[in-house]
């Protein structure tokens, strides 16, 4: 295989045409299961030889069909995802798994199920607290998911197969973290734009192919002489999702984005699933407790009646402090998709937390359209000027 079809080039190709590999696999009799959010436990699909395929929004696609089913003042990412489905872009899927990661996703899933006709559709109800009862409930939901998958495939989800799948996905998480180690240097060895392409490629490939892609990419990046240009700002972007290179390039025109804290970046790869005796318990624990998304309500101490604000902020955002220090980040952008309530409600507290650790930050809201990029550029440039003085 020539270097043209490996590593970063291959990731870029898959990023630009993310359904191509899934369609090839389908032609070879594999079953492809879509999922719209990183909270779906893809290990359970992999263990049953199903191919998980993330159904992402496409910012360049004007929303026309979703207006039939969703109001305009609604999460534009979900409107766009549904729009793509209604236009038949996901018709190659054999099934779909949605999850209650937020209310817009739950509402969209109901509509998605009734307007499309995949052979399999399953909705996982996910609690929003990290209390022990919530974990128990979520484990029950994963058990229900197991039953419908077994009925659909006609196969048993054995503990051995699940263990092997968990190990492969944990390996993928470790490789993504290794890739992020390469943004610690100044200039970084790999750009935020390139990482967006790699991460999006991973979510449209079987896990073993994704792990090969990561291994190739890490080897290539470590060896290459030309690094991204060094910029005066080293940014962390905190967002629900940042999975489009056009958005990333708005930031990287003036800064090095060394940490993409969203589901298009490091968020789904920071932790690992523990191999507990009951495999579903390890999965439930990882997805409920370890993924650091605003959709989950974290209490500093269970049962407390008066909040200690500082402790509360630490339990919600403490994970960012180490990254800010280790990656020498000198600015944080809180990038909000309009009508995204889970993330919008976190912004005042996150701002307080970042102030408390002395990191400058700014807040930018946009509507997930290409028309929003020009005003976004002006805001980004103004912020970078203030932190580069």
Omega of the bond leading into 265 within 30 degrees of 0 (cis): no
Q: CB within 8 A of 310, min separation 6: which ones? A: 356
CA distances in angstroms from 13 to 1, 38, 200, 243, 376, listed in the order given:
15, 22, 11, 15, 27
Q: Which two tokens stand for residue 38?
A: 């990183």
Using the rule CB under 6 A, give the single segment among 10-18, 97-105, 160-168, 276-284 that binds ligand SF4.
Answer: 97-105
Contact in structure between 249 and 233 (CB atoms under 8 Å): no
> Could you tell me which of 257, 271, 272 has the C-alpha nearest to residue 196?
257
Closest CA relative to residue 261, chosen from 243, 290, 238, 291: 238
d(CA 376, CA 382): 10
CB nearer to ligand SF4: pick between 25 and 57: 57
CB distance 96 to 125 below 8 Å: no
Closest contact distance (angstroms) between CB of 39 and ligand SF4 is 10
Name 305's Cβ contacts closer than 8 Å, sequence gap at least 6.
none
* Residue choice 47, 66, 75, 259 for contact with ligand SF4 (CB under 6 A): 75
Query: Of the listed pieces 7-15, 101-109, 320-328, 377-385, which binds ligand SF4 according to CB under 6 A?
Result: 101-109
Per the structure block, which two tokens stand in for 279? 């495999």
Q: What residues from 120 to 159 belong to the interface with ligand SF4 (CB under 6 A)?
A: none
Among 15, 327, 343, 383, the residue binding ligand SF4 under the rule CB under 6 A is 343
**Could you tell me the smallest distance in angstroms from the CB atom of residue 48 to ligand SF4?**
26
| Closer Cβ to ligand SF4, 217 or 240, answer by number | 240
Q: Choose, by CB under 6 A, the member of 102, 236, 268, 376 that binds ligand SF4.
A: 102
> With helix as H, strand as E and coil as C, how does 38-97 read?
CCCCHHHHHHCCEEEEECCCCCCCCCCHHHHCCCCCCCHHHHHHHHHHHCCCCCCCCEEE
User: Which H/E stretch holds residue 261?
Assistant: strand 255-261
- Closer CB to ligand SF4, residue 191 or residue 240? 240
**Which residue in the set 342, 346, 350, 364 belongs to the binding site for ligand SF4 (CB under 6 A)?**
342
Find where tokens 């995802």 sit. Answer: 81
Among the listed residues 33, 66, 69, 77, the single contact to ligand SF4 using CB under 6 A: 77
Residue 240 in contact with ligand SF4, rule: CB under 6 A: yes
For residue 285, the Cα-to-chain-centroid distance in whole angstroms is: 18
Residue closer to ligand SF4, measured from CB, 21 or 100: 100
When the beta carbons of 265 and 342 are compared against ligand SF4, the nearer one is 342
Asked if 192 interacts with ligand SF4 (CB under 6 A), we say no
Applying CB under 6 A, among 7, 41, 52, 104 the residue interacting with ligand SF4 is 104
Exposed, middle or buried: residue 389 (CB in 10 Å: 0-12, 13-18, 19+)? exposed
Per CB under 6 A, does 78 bind ligand SF4? yes
Would you say 210 or 342 has its CB closer to ligand SF4?
342
Q: 331, 235 in Cβ contact below 8 A? A: yes
Q: From the CB of 76, what's the least distance to ligand SF4, in Å?
A: 8
* Residue 100: both structure tokens together: 């209650």
Q: What does the alpha-carbon distance between residue 277 and residue 220 come to, in Å, rounded to a whole number?
A: 38
- Point out which span in 71-79, 137-145, 159-167, 270-278 binds ligand SF4 (CB under 6 A): 71-79
Which range touches ligand SF4 (CB under 6 A), out of 64-72, 99-107, 151-159, 351-359?
Answer: 99-107
Q: Is the CB of 128 or the CB of 159 nearer to ligand SF4? A: 128
Stretch touching ligand SF4 by CB under 6 A, among 74-82, 153-161, 169-177, 187-195? 74-82
The span of 265-273, 283-291, 311-319, 336-344 binding ligand SF4 (CB under 6 A) equals: 336-344
Token pair recorded at residue 87: 């236009």
At closest approach, how far in Å is the CB of 79 from ligand SF4?
9
Binding status of residue 337 toward ligand SF4 by CB under 6 A = yes
Q: Which two tokens stand for residue 75?
A: 């999460």
CB atoms within 10 A of CB 128: 15
Q: Is 57 in the site for ligand SF4 (CB under 6 A)?
A: no
CA-nearest of 139, 225, 207, 113 to 168 is 207
Q: How far is the CB of 174 from ligand SF4 (least distance, A)?
A: 26
Binding site for ligand SF4 (CB under 6 A): 75, 77-78, 102, 104-105, 240-241, 295, 337, 340, 342-343
């Amino acid at each position: 295989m020539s270097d043209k079809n490996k590593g970063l080039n291959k990731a870029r190709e898959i990023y630009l045409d993310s359904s191509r590999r899934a369609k090839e696999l389908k032609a070879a009799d594999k079953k492809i299961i879509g999922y719209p959010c990183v909270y779906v436990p893809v290990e359970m699909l992999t263990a049953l030889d199903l191919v998980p395929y993330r159904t992402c929004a496409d910012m360049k696609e004007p929303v026309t069909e979703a207006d039939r089913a969703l109001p305009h003042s609604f999460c534009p990412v979900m409107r766009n995802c549904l729009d793509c489905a209604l236009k038949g872009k996901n018709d190659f899927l054999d099934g779909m798994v949605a999850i209650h990661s937020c209310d817009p996703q739950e509402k969209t899933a109901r509509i998605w199920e009734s307007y499309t006709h995949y052979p399999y559709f399953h909705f996982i109800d996910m609690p929003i607290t990290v209390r022990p009862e919530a974990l128990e409930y979520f484990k029950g939901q994963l058990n229900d998911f197991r039953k419908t998958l077994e009925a659909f495939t006609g196969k048993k989800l054995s503990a051995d197969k699940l263990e092997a799948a968990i190990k492969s996905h944990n390996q993928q998480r470790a490789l993504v973290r290794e890739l992020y180690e390469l943004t610690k240097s100044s200039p970084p060895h790999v750009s935020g734009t390139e990482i967006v392409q790699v991460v999006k490629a991973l979510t449209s490939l079987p896990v073993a192919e994704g792990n090969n892609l990561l291994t190739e990419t890490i080897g290539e990046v470590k060896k290459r002489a030309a690094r991204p240009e060094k910029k005066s700002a080293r940014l962390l972007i905190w967002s629900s999702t940042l999975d489009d290179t056009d958005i990333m390039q708005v930031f990287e025109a003036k800064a090095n984005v060394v940490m993409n804290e969203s589901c298009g970046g490091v968020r789904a790869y920071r932790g690992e699933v523990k191999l507990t005796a009951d495999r579903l318990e390890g999965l439930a624990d990882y997805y409920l407790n370890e993924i650091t998304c605003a959709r989950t309500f974290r209490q500093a101490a269970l049962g407390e009646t008066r909040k200690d604000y500082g402790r509360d902020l630490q339990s919600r955002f403490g994970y960012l402090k180490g990254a800010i220090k280790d990656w020498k980040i000198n600015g944080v952008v809180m990038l909000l998709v309009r009508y995204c309530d889970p993330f919008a409600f976190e912004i005042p507290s996150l701002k307080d937390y970042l102030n408390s650790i002395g990191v400058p930050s700014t807040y930018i809201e946009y509507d997930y359209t290409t028309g929003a990029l020009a005003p976004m550029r002006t805001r980004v440039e103004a912020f970078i000027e203030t932190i580069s003085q």
